[in-house]
Amino acid sequence: MLLIPCPHCGPRAQTEFSYGGDANVARPPAPEDADGGTWVDYLYLRDNAKGGHDELWQHIFGCRRWLRVGRDVVSHEITSCTELAESGA
Amino acid sequence: MSHYSLANLVRHGLTGHRGWKPAWRDPAPQAGYDAIIVGGGGHGLASAYYLAKNHGLNNIAVLEKGWLGGGNTGRNTTIVRSNYLLDANAHFYEHGMKLWEGLSRDLNFNVMFSQRGVINLAHSKGQLETFRRRGNAMRLNGIDAELLDRDAVATLVPGMDVSANSRFPVEGGLLQPRGGTARHDAVAWGYARAADRRGVDIIQNCEVTGIRRDQSGVTGVETSRGFIASKRIGLAVAGHSTQLAAMAGLRLPIESHVLQAMVSEPVKPVLDTVVTFGAAHLYVSQSDKGELVMGGDIDGYNSFAQRGNLPVIEHVAACLLALFPQFSRLRILRTWGGIMDMTMDGSPIIGTTPVPGLFLNGGWCYGGFKATPASGWVFAHTMATGQPHALNADLNLNRFHQGRVLDEKGAGPYPWLH
């Protein structure tokens, strides 16, 4: 069981959270000017790193805030957990 | 190497079975090959076998980091089916089903293919109507499908609670009678032995650490046992496709997730078909040893750890007991996890890549095991001719760039939801 240290609610079990995927995927800044390749990158292509991974989780059975979690996807160690709105991403 | 037959069994029996030779050789890597396949699981071995058998190539190597079939080939729940809605998937998996039906004889190796039927349960009139649509689509594609009402389900699975009082009352189901199970390890071993007999070098404990390329395309692979040259390289390493493709400078529409499976302690025969319970997600069958073999959803977050987490195990067990309350006293004997390539549309990727000479067979999501023969068949064709086979033309990597995604569930580009 992952224990996610929610900055508002404290350490909570993963079953209280909903997964939101890779946190570093950014929508094209000027969508109207983006070409097909840019959209393919944004929609489909992922780094899928074997190691440190920045990812989104929503605390749906807690504060309902979106969080940005740093986790090692091999050891499952959680190295950071911050409020998404304050992370600048 | 002896042909497996009753005559040879008797002949070896007369000498106390001391005369059997290893089923495949253990060769050292040569300096170069006409084709190299990375990954010694079912898909890689099947690809090598069909390259040799259908296309006459026999200067081929299969490179395996660990041991044969030690990845997802040995970690799945052994279910074989071709009950797909979309044409591209239906034709591809149905070709696989036809290969399964003759596989033991073709390989001279008993893969214990058992066509015990696969039942998808429906729990509402609406769900049954979507099954009717899928069943009709299957029949139009020449695949067997039967729509079942509740009584027919009760007759086929007498141990299941189909009463109106159950947690999820059963409304009916969709049966594919030709679906079933096969012995997963035997599939890897059978293809390995058959490929080896056609001259394929199967090299275990040989990890690929880099892919060399020049302007014209790939030129070979760096491995833990030295450089091996080849202008034709196929990747069949589902779970780590991202990492291998990155060695050639490619980014893929794939995330790696852990999928768990588990078995109960063995009991006498109680379930002679495969039951899938899509409403809450469980699939269960009984192995020939008597264990109930179960699986459910992926854990739902990126993972390269070949182990999962308790919430999914609890969920799978709860689903099992909702359908079969009498199993409440069975104990879980083992659980394990395998790393899935989850693609952005839930369908596999098999075909060419933008790098000349590099071919990709991956993105199998939950569905790799049943696809093994068809995957090897079309991947061998793709590697031999440089062009996709008609059956994998729609499964090529470039579908994401061309807006031709194959999303059976309509879930969108969220790999953890497929």
Would you say residue B15 lies in a domain?
no
Single out the residue in B317, B339, B361 at which a domain terminates.
Answer: B339
The percentage of chain B sitting over the pLDDT mark of 70, rounded to a whole number, equals 100
| Residue B22, domain member (yes or no) | no
Cβ neighbours of residue B272 closer than 8 Å, sequence gap 6 or more:
B116, B286
* Position B408 pLDDT exceeds 90: no
State whether A74 and B304 contact (CB < 8 Å): yes
Residue B18 lies in a domain: no
The pLDDT tens digits of the residues spanning B247-270 come to 999 999 999 999 999 999 999 999
- Statement to judge: residues B37 and B78 lie in one domain: yes
Query: Cα(B127)–Cα(B26) distance, rounded to whole angstroms?
Result: 51
**Non-local CB neighbours of A25 within 8 Å, separated by 6+ positions:** A42, A46
B252 Cβ contact partners less than 8 Å away, ≥ 6 residues apart: A45, A46, A48, B241, B242, B245, B349, B360, B362, B363, B397
Domain edges within chain A: 3-86
Last residue of a domain, one of B306, B339, B372: B339
B352 and B322 within one domain: no
How does pLDDT run across B349-375, given as a tens digit for each residue? 999 999 999 999 999 998 899 999 999
**pLDDT for residue B224:** 97
Nearest CA in chain A to B342: A48
Do B251 and A47 lie within an 8 Å CB cutoff? Answer: yes
Asked if A1 lies within 8 A of B310 by C-beta distance, the reply is yes
Q: Give the pLDDT confidence of B194-232 residue by residue, as tens digits.
A: 999 999 999 999 999 999 999 999 999 999 999 999 999
DSSP at B264: E
Closest alpha carbon to B37 in B53, B59, B67: B59
Question: What CA–CA distance (Å, rounded) separates B140 from B392?
Answer: 20
Q: Which of A35, A39, A43, A44 to mutate to test the interface with B (most CBs of B within 10 A)?
A: A44
Find the domain containing B131 and state its range.
118-179+256-339
pLDDT value, residue B65:
96
- Is residue B125 included in any domain, yes or no? yes
Is residue B150 in a domain?
yes
Band of pLDDT at residue B275, cut at 50, 70 and 90: very high
Q: What is the mean pLDDT of residues B272-288?
A: 94
Task: Quote the pLDDT of residue B279.
Answer: 85
Which pLDDT belongs to residue B216? 93
Whether residues B242 and A48 touch (CB distance < 8 A) is answered with yes
Mean pLDDT confidence for A45-56: 96
In tens, the pLDDT along B46-77 reads: 999 999 999 999 899 999 999 999 999 999 99
Residue B130 lies in a domain: yes
Q: From A48, A1, A77, select the one nearest B251 (Cα to Cα).
A: A48
What's the confidence (pLDDT) of residue B193? 97
Instruction: Report CA dihedral (B266, B268, B270, B274) to the nearest 10 degrees.
Output: 50
Closest to A54 measured CA to CA, from A66, A63, A64, A65: A66
Find which of A12, A18, A22, A48 to mutate to test the B interface (most B CBs within 10 Å of its CB). Answer: A48
User: Are B322 and B290 contained in the same domain?
Assistant: yes
Is pLDDT above 70 for B187?
Answer: yes
What number of C-beta contacts closer than 8 Å exist between A and B? 67
Which chain A residue lies closest to B241 (C-alpha atoms)? Answer: A48
State ipTM. 0.94
From the options 3.40.50.720, 3.40.190.80, 3.40.50.300, 3.30.2270.10, give the CATH code of A3-86: 3.30.2270.10
Q: Strand locations in B265-378, DSSP E?
A: 274-277, 282-286, 292-302, 332-343, 349-352, 358-362
B254 CB neighbours in chain A (<8 A) are 46, 48
What is the rounded CA–CA span in Å between residue B95 and residue B305? Answer: 33
In angstroms, the separation between the Cα of residue B297 and the nearest Cα of chain A is: 14
Res A89 pLDDT > 60: no
Question: Hey, are the CB atoms on B254 and A43 less than 8 Å from each other?
Answer: no
Domain presence at residue B307: yes
Tell me: pLDDT of B410 over 90.
no
Taking CB atoms and an 8 Å limit, are B302 and A48 in contact across chains? yes
The confidence score (pLDDT) of residue A87 equals 62
**Cβ of residue A30 closer than 8 Å to a chain B Cβ:** no
**Domain end among B315, B339, B363:** B339
B65 and B133 fall within a common domain: no
Angstrom distance (rounded) from CA B401 to CA B418: 20
Q: Can you give the pLDDT at residue A88?
A: 58
Co-location of B330 and B263 in the same domain: yes
Per-residue confidence at B2, pLDDT binned at 50, 70, 90?
confident
Across chain B, mean pLDDT equals 95
- Give the residue among B372, B353, B303 at the shortest CA–CA distance from B93: B372
